[in-house]
Amino acid sequence: MQNTKLYKNNLYKVMSNSISFSSLSCPMPKFDFDTINMGHGSGGILTHQLLNSGVFSILQNDMLNQKHDGAIFTANGKLAFSTDSYVIHPLFFPGGNIGELAVNGTVNDLAMCGAMAKYLSLSFIIEEGLAMKEFWEILVSIKKACDKANVQVVTGDTKVVEKGKGDKIFINTSGIGIMHPHANIALSNIKEGDAVILSGYIADHGVCIMSKREGLEFETDVKSDTVNLNFTIEHLLNEFGNEIHFLRDATRGGVASVLNEIAKDGNLGVDILEKEIPVKPQVSGACEMLGLDPLYVANEGKFMMVVDAAKTQDVLNALRKDTNGTDATIIGHITKEHIGQVILQSRIGGKRVVNMLPGEQLPRIC
Amino acid sequence: MKYLSEYRDADVVNKYLDELHEITTKPWTIMEVCGGQTHSLVKNGIIGLLPKNITMVHGPGCPVCVTPLQLIDKAVYLAEVQKVILCSYGDMLRVPGSKKSLLEAKANGADVRILYSPLEAVKLASENPDKEVVFFAVGFETTAPANALSVLHAQRQGITNYSILTSHVLVPPAIDALASDEANVVQGFLAAGHVCTIMGISEYYPLVEKYKMPIVVTGFEPVDLMQGITMLIKQLENGEYKLQNQYSRVVQPEGNKDARSVIEQVFEVREREWRGIGTIPISGYEVKPEMKNFDANVKFNIQIEAQPNNNECIAGEILRGIKKPMECPQFGKKCTPLHPIGAPMVSSEGACAAYYHFANINAEHETV
């Protein structure tokens, strides 16, 4: 009885604490606990406290407020469905945190299919001991990222695992998006002579994360490029529709992995020019210091497009007008020669094959 | 970027290329000793730009590649059985031992960490006084000062739970062994610029005289390599054999005395096994007896027997320049960077991995 009362009181306390998302900061309501423990994943009172005072209060919308086992909605037409899990360390980094990454990542995966994200599911696997303050900060970022991308979290789940069985918090998001009526994105649409466009400076996210890892800390002003790309893609599809043959965001595995997917899965050859690939000097310097190749380093706000040769310049001009594509370049072309291989022409004019990465990119000794 | 962009200038590279095409009249086989140079040559596509009658042989200068199987087994043993925090440079992790690699040991729960500096390992030891911390001190003369310095730091700070597992090899004895080999095909060497930054260049004069072979101390950027190759070919075409220093903006003839003094306080020169090549006299560093408290071999009384190398791997012939990676029947088939049979397929400085990553393995020619 006492517990129920506490639960109700707490809920009331939080509900009465009005939250304004129009303001930049979002103060954390007062909780009865500072850290998340196993009880918060038990399905009992503590779970309800965590959800009602935390997740539901901040992410509320009509569908989530139903507190059903799932979301019920009507949808018409062609849909896309995608999922991704986020296990990043550290959780907070210059330019963002795991929360907005989890929203942007799935929104972008849908965008690359030619779909505009509408609904997300959101699942947390929390390691006991996570500070409520950190969880709150992540929730606020999720909310802000959802608002920015015009997407709603409509269902979710929270589990807590014992200390040592996780890494503070893992997040999974799945998303449903509505296909753009003009989108026709498929490897099979790519043809010889098509141009490969890269949307901007590469390797910022990966270098930023590495600069904050224990044992590797180095000073840099590089920030993660995490951003939602759905509106950028929507505008391009509005204007160019099926002249855009293929889209993919260059996340894990970087630009090199996307190019290899095009070459190997599409049974095509890809020629690229090293001098056209934008890398900031500080990112390039950090990669050299760490013995890494920026072509394989992760991005969270960059994508690649394969477009019809005749429309290349128009697409590039349009993309450059978008804040997510101001530094876009044409990095190469599709060829019927050297099928299955990506060949890079180096700055000095030599050529080499850019292969898939075998496992994790390990830093060179010297 | 000062001292970097100038050495990646396509116009300067082309100037040297034109000169090289002009002066090269006979077929020449030359070796870049250092894995860093191999990496740069292939990454920048330089080999495909050279005159067809210049053959580049990729030498044994990848420390990861020449680290004996037994030492990998020792590192795995320390991590798995002795439960130490085993710290290593990144690309050692995937090198196969006789049973497993450090990466596999890590996946099985061993505490294996990638570090960029041995001084980080000393810090780790001071932060974890209840654990033993071992740094896998791999490298040529280049990394020896930092590895030695970590021992001096630990000693100065009274840290007793830190030690190193040494796998240090030396360049001049390797050139000596290669040049004296009956099967040697190499007519001139590009010596490793960073090694000479530490050690100076005096050790190379006797080699030039003994084998009447030109040696050019060379850097790592495209312009460095093109200039170094041009200097070497000029000598060969003129019938000369001299020691030249292309990398003079970094390499002083006497080297870095302070760095050498640090090495001498911790290490002594001994005979050493090179994976795939065999034992070379006075070709490696081991921790001095008076520093034995920091020698993981002594501290943990490691008794690991040497296991035979995989006989499908022709790393020895590749590292001596007798065969090219593509001439290995396993190259790109059974042996890939994902499933390396031999060490040269592991590190991106390794000759096989460099070819696999950067060269067209389906093409008839070395590079596309």
- CATH number, domain with residue A216: 3.90.650.10
Domain shared by A77 and A108, yes or no? yes
User: Tell me, what CATH number does A127's domain have?
Assistant: 3.30.1330.10
Q: Does A282 score more than 80 pLDDT?
A: yes
Spell A325-353 as b/e; 16+ CB within 10 A means b. Answer: beebbbbbbbbeebeebbbbbbbbbbbbb
pLDDT band at B320 (very low <50, low <70, confident <90, very high): confident
Residue B6's φ and ψ, nearest 5 degrees, are: -60, -30
- Most confident of the ranges B54-68, B194-208, B273-287: B194-208
pLDDT number for residue B119: 94
Domain shared by A156 and A298, yes or no? no
CA pair distance B333, B312, nearest whole angstrom: 12
Domain shared by A206 and A330, yes or no? yes
Q: Does B317 score more than 50 pLDDT?
A: yes
CA–CA min distance B66, chain A (Å):
13
Inter-chain contact A350–B114, Cβ cutoff 8 Å? no
- Dihedral, CA atoms, A34, A36, A40, A42, nearest 10 degrees? -140
pLDDT band at A7 (very low <50, low <70, confident <90, very high): very low
Q: What is the pLDDT of residues A134-190, one digit of tens each?
A: 999 999 999 999 999 999 999 999 999 999 999 999 999 999 999 999 999 999 999
Domain shared by A105 and A193, yes or no? no
ipTM above 0.90, yes or no: no
Asked whether A176 and A80 are in contact (CB, 8 A), the reply is yes
pLDDT band at A362 (very low <50, low <70, confident <90, very high): low
Residue A20 in any domain: the answer is no
> Which residue in B91, B103, B345, B366 has the most chain A C-beta atoms within 10 A of its own C-beta, making it the best mutation to test that interface?
B91
Domain shared by A207 and A166, yes or no? no
- Give the closest residue to A334 by CA, choosing from A184, A199, A195: A195
Of A188-192, B233-237, B324-328, which range is least confident? Answer: B324-328
Q: What is the pLDDT of residues A9-39, one digit of tens each?
A: 333 233 333 344 444 457 787 777 889 999 8
Average pLDDT over residues B246-259: 96
pLDDT number for residue B325: 87
Q: What is the pLDDT of residues A295-338, one digit of tens each?
A: 999 999 999 999 999 999 999 999 999 999 999 999 999 999 99
pLDDT number for residue B360: 55
Total-model pTM: 0.87
Of A65-69, A103-107, A268-272, which range is least confident? Answer: A65-69
CA pair distance A182, A187, nearest whole angstrom: 16
Q: What are the chain B neighbours of A347 within 8 Å (beta carbons)?
A: 8, 10, 44, 222
Q: Does B22 score more than 90 pLDDT?
A: yes
Domain count for chain A, please give it: 2
Residue A196 in any domain: the answer is yes
Residue A285 in any domain: the answer is yes
Inter-chain contact A352–B45, Cβ cutoff 8 Å? yes
Helices B35-43 and B351-358, interaxial angle, to 10°? 10
Domain shared by A143 and A252, yes or no? no
Give every CB contact of residue B151 below 8 A, 6+ residues apart in sequence. Answer: B162, B164, B266, B287, B291, B294
Asked whether B93 and B346 are in contact (CB, 8 A), the reply is no
pLDDT band at B2 (very low <50, low <70, confident <90, very high): low
Domain shared by A223 and A320, yes or no? yes
Domain shared by A90 and A170, yes or no? yes
Asked whether B32 and B62 are in contact (CB, 8 A), the reply is no
CA–CA min distance B356, chain A (Å):
8
CA pair distance B227, B13, nearest whole angstrom: 8
A53 secondary structure, DSSP code: I
Residue A297 in any domain: the answer is yes
Tokens of A339: 């099928």
* Partner-chain residue, chosen from A285, A358, A362, that has the shortest CB–CB distance to B338: A358
| Residue B306 CB neighbours (<10 A) | 12
Domain shared by A138 and A236, yes or no? no
Percent of chain B clearing pLDDT 90 (strictly above):
70
Tell me the domains of chain B and their CATH numbers.
Answer: 1-311 (3.40.50.11740), 315-358 (no CATH)
B293 lies within 8 A of chain A by CB:
no
> Among A151, A179, A207, which residue terminates a domain?
A179
Residue A360 in any domain: the answer is no
pLDDT number for residue A25: 58
B92 lies within 8 A of chain A by CB:
yes
CA pair distance A133, A137, nearest whole angstrom: 6
Q: What are the chain A neighbours of B21 within 8 Å (beta carbons)?
A: none
Q: Does B249 score more than 80 pLDDT?
A: yes
Between these two residues, A7 and A61, which has the higher pLDDT value? A61
pLDDT number for residue B26: 97
Q: Does A344 score more than 70 pLDDT?
A: yes
- Identify the closest residue of chain A to B118 by CA–CA distance: A215
Helices A312-320 and A230-240, interaxial angle, to 10°? 140
> Among A114, A149, A179, which residue terminates a domain?
A179
Domain shared by A224 and A174, yes or no? no
- Most confident of the ranges A18-27, B54-63, B303-312: B54-63
> Which range of residues forms the domain containing residue A330?
187-354
pLDDT number for residue B106: 96
Residue A193 in any domain: the answer is yes
pLDDT number for residue B323: 85
Q: Does A277 score more than 80 pLDDT?
A: yes
Residue A246 in any domain: the answer is yes
pLDDT number for residue A249: 97
**CA–CA distances in Å: residue A209 to residues A160, A212, B91, B323:** 25, 5, 20, 41
Q: Which amino acid is at B55?
A: T
Asked whether A122 and A61 are in contact (CB, 8 A), the reply is no
pLDDT number for residue B275: 85
Q: Does A366 score more than 60 pLDDT?
A: no
Percent of chain A clearing pLDDT 70 (strictly above):
91
Q: Does B247 score more than 70 pLDDT?
A: yes
CA pair distance B291, B229, nearest whole angstrom: 42
> Among A179, A214, A235, which residue terminates a domain?
A179
Give every CB contact of residue A69 below 8 A, 6+ residues apart in sequence. Answer: none
CA–CA min distance B367, chain A (Å):
7
- Give the closest residue to A303 by CA, choosing from A105, A143, A29, A133: A105
Domain shared by A200 and A301, yes or no? yes
Residue A346's φ and ψ, nearest 5 degrees, are: -70, 170
pLDDT band at A211 (very low <50, low <70, confident <90, very high): confident
Spell B15-54 as b/e; 16+ CB within 10 A means b. Answer: ebbeebeeebeeebbbbbbbbbbbbbbbbbbbbbbbbeeb
pLDDT number for residue B278: 87
Asked whether B16 and B226 are in contact (CB, 8 A), the reply is yes
Owner of token pair 């070379």: B280
Residue A14 in any domain: the answer is no
Q: What are the chain A neighbours of B367 within 8 Å (beta carbons)?
A: 350-352
Q: What is the pLDDT of residues A65-93, one digit of tens each?
A: 888 889 999 988 999 999 999 999 999 99
CA pair distance B242, B236, nearest whole angstrom: 10
A70 lies within 8 A of chain B by CB:
no
Asked whether A223 and A208 are in contact (CB, 8 A), the reply is yes
Domain shared by A282 and A330, yes or no? yes
Spell A81-114 as b/e; 16+ CB within 10 A means b. Answer: ebebebebeebebebbbbbbbbbbbbbbbbbbbb
pLDDT number for residue A203: 96
